[in-house]
Structure formats: structure tokens, C-alpha cells
Chains A and B, each alone.
Chain A
Amino acid sequence: MQKIERMESLRDAYGNELAALGEKNKDIVVLDADLSSSTKTGIFGKKFPDRFYNMGISEQSMVSTAAGLSLSGKTVFASTFAVFLSNTYNVIRQSICYNEAPVNFVVTHSGITVGEDGPTHQILEDVGIMSGLPNMKVIVPVDSIETVSVIDYLSEKKTSPYYVRLTREKFPVLNEKNYEFNEGKSVVFREGSDITIMAYGIMVSFALKASEILKGKGIDARVINMSSIKPLDRAAIVKAAKETGKIVTAEEHSIFNGLGSRVAEVTGEEYPVPILRIGMPDIFGKSGKGMELFDYFHIGVNDIVEKTDKFFKREYI
């Protein structure tokens, strides 16, 4: 019998944890850009109005101000929708990254799971944009439990900025309650010896479902949660390359400059193996129900099965 999935909101987990942390950690200040009821920083804002700054629809000013607060020693969380933070690329580059201001950007509503709001709001390039910035670290929690652990981790003093990518939709809970996020480390969710599927975000649960179907086709797929995109778990990539010979990457993101590109860089340098990148192929999203769009764009569970099966069987000369 199939296990019933427990779905939980990552942004609810973020907002509640931030408000809980604010109780004991008086250094925490939070900024938002008129989306606090959606990003859930409003929970913190209601509890600690003196340490909450709603900067209005002024993302550049929010990021600049976050830099000043951070350089003053505050533990800063700044939130908006993922797509709107990208308005401020060069402010993040200079005032945050070059300044070595350890601001925690926790963004919500990334990717096509934004759904009905459509392509203007469905950013699919942000992991690439942020990973390319010196000093910036990039994390994509897989579920509500990992979200809480990442936020706990970031509430301790850090020396670099972070980009944490959350979503609008609820995601299946995959981790056990006692899970602890470990920066730079991936987590094997399913062992397998024939092929490895590396994924982050919602695509991890899709890959797990795909791996069950692949098992019926005689393919034993390893599934790894690559939530720490930067720094990346290079050792796990090389190990997968050596042990399974082929790697599939799956991400709710462009296939350019995301996990697929990073994995190909590592294998290219360390142990070249064929890579199949599953993700959005240099296109914009579209309106629709968040979860329907994966099938529409051929990156849903069945597509992962089909593409992985074909890729597994493909012979390279």
C-alpha cells in the first residue's frame, strides 16, 4: 500500500521558526518588501515590531538597508518573492557580497510551483544567478523540517551571505523530525547502484517516486538530496559517478547554471560520466496549477522515469 504523503508549507515553517528564534535571539532583525503575509515574516513582525522593517515594494532599498544592519552586527533575515530579489542583483553583489555582509536572504515563491501567477513570477534562473556571486552560499531546503533546520543554522552568526530558496506550494515531508542540515553535505534518500538522480526541492520527492517505478523496470536508482547547492558536495558527486556511471539531475529551475551545470562541472573535472539534466530548457513557465505544470513541461514523475530509463539504456561510444 502506498504511504500517504504529509504535505507541509516551507514558508510557514520559516515564519514560525523565525518568530520562535526571535524570542531568545535579540540580534535578529527581519526585513520584507510588502510580502510579509506571503513570505510569513509577518509572524515575526507582529511579535517583534521593533525589529521588523517593512520596506515597501523597494527591493533595492531593502537589500541596501539589510547590508547596513548586517555590518552593524545584526543577524539579518530579508525576504520577498524569489523573482523580486533578482531586481537587486547588483546591490547584492556590491553591498552584500563584496562587503562580506552576512545577510540571510530567504525567498519564497520560486519556480513554476508559483502556479497561477504565471511566468512573470516563476523565476527559474535564481539558483544560477546567486551561485555565481563570490561569498554567496545557496541552499534549497527539501521540506519543512529541513527549512527549520536551515533557519536555526543561519540564526547563529555567519561570515557570508546566504540565499535560501523556498516555495509557495506545500511539499511532502521527507525528513525525520531529528534531521539536522549540514552545509556542504548531501543526503542519500535512496541507495542504488545503477544510476544516480541528484535533485533539490520538490524534485527530490518526484525522483523518489520515479525510483520506485524504475525499480519495476529493473533499474536501481540512487536518489540524493542536494539541498546545499553552494557549497556543493563534490565528494558525493564523484562517488556517484564512480559507483553508478551515469548521473541524472532534476531541478525546478533552468537547466542552465543550476544543479545540472554544477554536477557536470564537477564530473568534468574529476571523473567524467554522462549527465542528463532534467529541468526547464531555457524557457519561461506559464500559468496553471503549480503541480500540473511539471507534466506540462515534461519534468514530472513519469517524465523523470521515461528520461532516466532511456538515458540509462543509451550507449556511449
Chain B
Amino acid sequence: MESYTVNDLAPVARQIRKEIIKMVYAAKSGHPGGSLSITDVLTALYFKEMNINPAKPDDPSRDILVMSKGHASPALYAALSLRGYFPAELLSGFRSINSKLEGHVHRGIPGVESSTGSLGQGLGVAIGFALASKLDGRNNRIYAILGDGEMEEGNIWESLLAGSKYRLGNLTAILDRNRIQLDGFTEDIMPLGNVAEKVKPFGWDVITIDGNSLNEVVNALEQAKKPREKPLFIVANTIKGKGVSYMENNPKYHGSPPANEEEYIQALKEIEEMQ
């Protein structure tokens, strides 16, 4: 896995995006928009940056990722499956009664570290992992992926305080700043504004990047690995629905699959043609 270069990641990201579309279309439900926006970040983490071994999912020295925005389950499940945690055939059962792939992220699935779906909890859980890692003197890294709608949850801000208090230099939070939540645009529903400038005074290092640029994501994650005194917060500016024109920046596709066969085929075709 270490042999993956940034150039190798683009086809993986395309494959994850296709799987997302296939999963939500087969299930006739699910959350494609926020899955497509975070795909590049997940690709860089699971295929280049994280120290993990799918054959040893419980290895104490592994890096740990908590997908706090648990509705991005299609993206996480696709990434885990392509990375070798479980067979790709299982993806087609997503959200169906005979499948283990629950609608939101579930810890019973190989590679998943914490169940999420009800928002706001994952950063605190990641802090727990980071504290345990520090206490035991491990050198692993802990990652939490947050949604920008999720930033409206009070628990996130409580946890930002705690991350700073305990100087968790082993913790990286990545914000999927796609600017859309279920009811519409974040800046209309509950303006988050300049989130970098809000998080900084909470005592975190903050980097802002284009979260759909694999180059920028990889660079930021490399910086995250440098020894640091504070936890790191990466604001990843992304496009909700990235890669599928009719889904991009469209709140409708926060929680709706392609509406018909035509939309489905178009989505797969457009993803195939992504650079």
C-alpha cells in the first residue's frame, strides 16, 4: 500500500465514487452528496496516509478513523471494502435487511472503529482514542471526519475544548466543508461562517485546503503527521455531490439516490470521465 503515489489515488477515488452511486441506487436510499464530497479525503487516508492492515483490524498500533458524519457510510464502506476489509460483493446489500451494512456507520463492520449517525459524537470518541493512545505511549494517529452541518452540535465544541486541554497532537479532525445540510445551505440554516477562525482560538492548529484535490489533501495529511503540540483541524473545502453534475451543490442529493436509470447511468459516466 505504501507504494501508492498521489497519481495512483485518482482511479481509486473514481472507483469509490462509482460504488457510492451503485450502493445508494440499489438501496433506493442513502446519502450520496456528503459521500461524494469526502471521497478524496477518504481515498488519501485509507490508500496512502493511514497505517493500517486489513488482515489485523485490531492491531493496537493501527491508525484509527472515526467517521463522525455517519451518513457518509457509502463512502466509508466502499473505501474499507476496496482496501480489503471485506469483499466488494457485500456493498450491493447496503441498507437491505439481509446485509450487515447498516444505513449509517456501524462498528460491527470490519474496519469501522465507532458507530455513528446521530451527529456530534465522533470527535469526542476520537478524543477518547487519542487519550488512550497517549496514555499507552503509542505512536498511532487518530482521525475524525466531521460534517459542516454537524458543527452545529454542541458536543463538537465541547470536544474542541477537550482536544486542546489535553494537547492531543496525535489527533487530526477533518471538516468536510461542503456547505450543504439536509434542509439546505449551511449558511442559511445556521451560519458557520469562517470556521477556521472559530476553531483556531479553541487551541487547535488549522489548515484550510481544497478537499477535492488529492494533492492538497495528501500534503495536509503529511503535515498532520509532523510532531505537534496541538491537535490539527483541517478545513477541507469540498463540493457536495462532487463528480456528478446534477448532484453538485444541490441539497436534494444530501439524502436522495439517482432518481432513475437515466440519472444513474449519467452519474457513473460522469465519474468515469473525472480527471
- The residues of A with any CB-CB pair to B shorter than 8 Å are 29, 50-51, 53, 55-56, 58, 60-74, 90-91, 93-95, 98-100
Give the contacts of B117-170 with A (CB-CB under 8 A): 117-118, 120-133, 135-136, 154-155, 158-159, 161-162, 166
**CA–CA, A36 to B126, complex, Å?**
23
- Complex: how many Å from CA A99 to CA B107? 6
For the complex formed, measure the closest distance between the CB of A29 and the CB atoms of chain B, giving whole angstroms.
Answer: 7
Some 14 contacts from A to B, beta carbons below 8 A apart, are: A51-B135, A53-B131, A56-B158, A56-B162, A67-B121, A68-B130, A68-B131, A69-B128, A69-B129, A70-B128, A71-B129, A72-B129, A94-B118, A98-B107
**B205 interface residue per 8 A CB criterion:** no
Cβ-neighbour of A61 out of B60, B118, B124, B129 (below 8 A): B124
- Give the CA-CA distance A58 to B162 in the complex, in Å: 9
* Chain A residues within an 8 Å CB radius of B115: 94-95, 98-99
Question: Assuming A64-B125, A90-B118, A94-B121, is B107 touching A56 (CB within 8 A)?
Answer: no
Bound: A71/B131 CA distance, A: 12
Secondary structure call for the A interface: helix
How many A-B contacts if CB must be within 8 Å?
Answer: 107
Give Cα A55 to B159, complex, Å: 9
With both beta carbons as reference points, the residue of chain B lying nearest to A53 in the complex is identified as: B131
Does the CB pair A69–B132 fall under 8 Å?
Answer: yes
Residues of A within 8 A of B120 (CB): 60
B114 at the interface (CB under 8 A from A): yes
Which of B's residues lie within 8 Å of A, judged by CB?
60, 66, 106-107, 113-118, 120-133, 135-136, 154-155, 158-159, 161-162, 166
Q: Which residues of B contact A95 (CB under 8 A)?
A: 114-115, 121, 124-125
Q: With the chains together, A60 CA to B154 CA distance in Å?
A: 8
| Option from B117, B118, B124 in Cβ contact (under 8 Å) with A68 | B124
Known: A71-B129, A72-B133. A58 touches B161 (CB 8 A): yes
Q: How far is the CA of A15 from the CA of B136 in the complex (A)?
A: 24
**Bound state CA distance, A56 and B165, in angstroms?**
10
Q: With A29-B132, A90-B118 given, name 19 new contacts (CB 8 A).
A: A56-B158, A64-B123, A64-B124, A65-B127, A67-B121, A68-B125, A68-B127, A68-B128, A69-B129, A72-B128, A73-B132, A74-B135, A91-B118, A91-B121, A91-B124, A95-B114, A95-B125, A98-B106, A99-B115
